[in-house]
Chain A
Amino acid sequence: MELSSLLTRRRVGMAAAASTAGRLLRLGAVRAEGHCRRLRRAGLERGFLQPTSAGKDAAQKRHVAHFTFQPDRESQEHGQTQKMNLFQAVTSALDNSLAKDPTAVIFGEDVAFGGVFRCTVGLRDKYGKDRVFNTPLCEQGIVGFGIGIAVTGATAIAEIQFADYIFPAFDQIVNEAAKYRYRSGDLFNCGSLTIRSPWGCVGHGGLYHSQCPEAFFAHCPGIKVVIPRSPFQAKGLLLSCIEDKNPCIFFEPKILYRAAVEQVPVEPYTIPLSQAEVIQEGSDITLVAWGTQVHVIREVALMAREKLGVSCEIIDLRTIIPWDVDTVCKSVIKTGRLLISHEAPLTGGFASEISSTVQEECFLNLEAPISRVCGYDTPFPHIFEPFYIPDKWKCYDALRKMINY
């Protein structure tokens, strides 16, 4: 890492460069591997903070995740693969982009040292400080600035540190980015803008580190909203977003950054936008989700088969808008039942759009009302998270009721 030239008189020159960000960064924020963490640090005073048994149990219970990441089978089509977690897959996609496209730049808060989730580690060293750089702390500025880069035709990859903080940029996204091409009669556009942002529950994020705001943006024609379920999906979908000729928002499930590991191609590849994926075929009921929740419903499908003998068809929506109506409807026509699940609150959540469209298109095929298993209509609570999230038990219970309808 380069030495900062700290010019104010109160700063002492930095004696040594910090070692590579990757080695030393500890990410307490993402802690959902489902195992007990190392509970003692070397050098802790003897007798300091003796754990009570209640404390230990509480710690263990707290860190059991509500899902198990299911890697997909290794892809053979894209050349050599490497084991990567989700943040490494993102880094790989960004690396590929900057290598290929000399106009591409990455910017946002704290991206220079590697990012609070390590997604940009090594990129500044590799591509230079004019291409990977920190901005001042200002989301409306980050997006507005990104739009401007894109208007000139250069590729802008903006990071919003948490999706919970995207709202200052809402005006720039909705009123500007989404409408640029339309309002100018296609004279101008900002299609080469991609906004990336960590998204979704993480076990302890509370109101402002857990949100899933895709529904706010679903209501905005002109932008694309994409959410991956895995490292392999993340890299391919992110590369598609970057290449797509429309402004895209790419939400990255933060709970998967370290928890999701699989083989990911080293070379660039794309996964089409606006194409949902049937990741498991079935005959009795269609389950639709995106991001982390795909892994929850995968487990629900297993439970349904074992306990109820029910065959589930699982769809990962992947692109929220424009969404793949055909794949979902084709599935519901086959199964006759639809359950949609997302962490975001029920009212006005994206499941309502899917439900509404499906009942229009597939009314006579439906054997039961469409079910939505979602977060409650409250802000995202901290200590109550285990009760708030649409976990596998709630999904299973809803499924059971649908089958028995």
Chain B
Amino acid sequence: MDRQGQIINPSEDPHLPQEKVLKFYRSMTLLNTMDRILYESQRQGRISFYMTNYGEEGTHVGSAAALDSTDLVFGQYREAGVLMYRDYPLELFMAQCYGNMSDPGKGRQMPVHYGCKERHFVTISSPLATQIPQAVGAAYAAKRANANRIVICYFGEGAASEGDAHAGFNFAATLECPIIFFCRNNGYAISTPTYEQYRGDGIAARGPGYGIMSIRVDGNDVFAVYNATKEARRRAVAENQPFLIEAMTYRIGHHSTSDDSSAYRSVDEVNYWDKQDHPISRLRHYLVSHGWWDEDQEKTWRKQSRKMVMEAFAQAERKLKPNPNLLFSDVYQEMPAQLRKQQESLAQHLQTYGEHYPLDHFDK
């Protein structure tokens, strides 16, 4: 669809039912609302760090919708919309950001490093592109398991410069793995624009060099993303080969709360994308023109989604942090004797010096 939400080529209209398209819209807007509130909460010192997804919601939701719910997802860190589409509860997003005792990750990682076993979303790690060869291995195992399952691996155009990306692509092709490589080309890697990241024709052009079928899509057109991912998935399963999708989009927000992008790009440039080519706006135009959405529903939904986010937020903030014993577990599956000794020494230390530690905020 175009920027006004009109289908350009009717033969490419996925003809998705109203409920599904409304789910797209609600996922993207709920994510946007959550982003705004959590970004602000970091500025206020309530959480330590945050990364927003502004402008890239279409890439997350369009691709997630085209997958089976059991397809394994390896992400980088800017794919929260995939989890949102898979109905990951707000409570758990917040729990991870607050590192509270409800966090399935047990408070060990910085905010936005989500993971969910039930929803087949592998826990995020900060190092870039490390997920790429891992995703390929997982795809190989899925092939052998004959489970009609694929793996999708998300990364940015910056991460694609890492050596791990080269390794991943080449392994996927030579070992014939059912994987979708999904590159979010959002224009920047922190301050580094694409002109300084690569000199070739983006990431899609690299695929054929490895023998990987590749396509470039308009990442802000949620239907285009959906179509490409759907077809890639179908063929990956049928043919056991990798596919590369490069979704062109734009990082409207700063890299993270540690970044002020006005230092390296103009506010005009950002406003252009925000106002002229935003995946949420484009989908809203589509919905409205089909009579599936209107001003009143928009107002109601905005209020409702804000309320949901604020409630989850307030709850998350009130909760205690996990018991400090969880600092020591899961290093290995079994706890080594030396580590148990260290755990005991901390317990003893806290008996004498506990007043100097924020024990009140942690679960006993």
| Chain A residues within 8 Å of B, Cβ to Cβ | 1, 4-8, 10-12, 14-19, 21, 24-29, 37, 39-41, 44, 48-49, 51-52, 54-55, 57-59, 61-63, 109-110, 112-114, 116, 133-134, 136-141, 164-165, 167-168, 203-209, 346-347, 376-379, 381-384, 386-388, 391, 393-394, 397
Contacts and interface: CB of A to CB of B under 8 A. Distances in A.
Interface string B227-261: 00000000000000000000010100000111110
Interface of B: 37, 40-46, 48-49, 99, 107-110, 113, 125-128, 158-159, 161-164, 187, 189-198, 248, 250, 256-260, 262-266, 268-269, 272, 313-314, 317-318, 321-322, 324, 326-328, 331, 336, 338-339, 342-343, 346, 349-350, 352-353, 356-358, 361
A377 B339 contact: yes
B264 A138 contact: no
A204 B269 contact: no
Nearest to B264: A113
B45 A21 contact: no
A203 B163 CA distance: 30
B143 to A, nearest CB: 28
B27 to A, nearest CB: 23
Contacts of B324: 384, 387
A62 B108 contact: no
Which one of A25, A28, A40 has the highest number of Cβ atoms from chain B below 10 Å of its Cβ? A28
Contacts of A61: 358, 361
A136 B194 CA distance: 9
Q: Is the interface of A mostly helix, strand, loop or mixed?
A: loop
Given A15-B268, A136-B198, A346-B342, 14 more contacts: A4-B193, A16-B268, A41-B40, A52-B314, A110-B189, A110-B191, A136-B158, A164-B127, A204-B110, A208-B126, A347-B338, A379-B108, A387-B357, A388-B327
> 6 shortest A-B CB distances, which residue pairs?
A383-B99, A204-B48, A208-B126, A383-B107, A59-B45, A136-B161
Contacts of B336: 377
Contacts of B107: 381-384
Contact of B158 (A52, A137, A387): A137
B45 A39 contact: yes
Contacts of A27: 258
Contacts of A382: 48, 99, 107-110
Contacts of B327: 376, 378, 381, 384, 387-388
A137 B353 contact: no
A376 B265 CA distance: 42
Nearest to B190: A110
28 contacts: A1-B263, A10-B250, A16-B268, A21-B263, A26-B258, A27-B258, A49-B313, A55-B46, A109-B190, A110-B192, A113-B191, A116-B258, A137-B162, A141-B163, A164-B126, A164-B127, A168-B162, A206-B126, A208-B110, A376-B339, A376-B343, A377-B336, A382-B108, A382-B109, A384-B322, A384-B324, A387-B324, A388-B327
Contact of A209 (B110, B159, B260, B317): B110
A28 B158 contact: no
B37 A207 contact: no
Nearest to B355: A393
A21 B264 contact: yes
Contact of A49 (B40, B195, B248): B40
Nearest to A375: B342
Nearest to A23: B263
A211 to B, nearest CB: 11
B191 A48 contact: no
A61 B48 CA distance: 12
Contacts of A14: 265-266, 268-269
A39 to B, nearest CB: 5
A52 B259 CA distance: 27
B314 to A, nearest CB: 7
Which one of B190, B263, B336, B357 has the highest number of Cβ atoms from chain A below 10 Å of its Cβ? B263
Nearest to B40: A49
B342 A376 contact: yes
Contact of B339 (A6, A378, A394): A378
A205 B264 CA distance: 24
Contacts of B314: 52
Given A16-B268, A28-B258, A136-B161, A109 B192 contact: yes
Contact of B163 (A51, A140, A209): A140
Contacts of A18: 262-266
A167 B327 CA distance: 24
B46 A386 contact: no
Contact of B108 (A113, A203, A206): A206
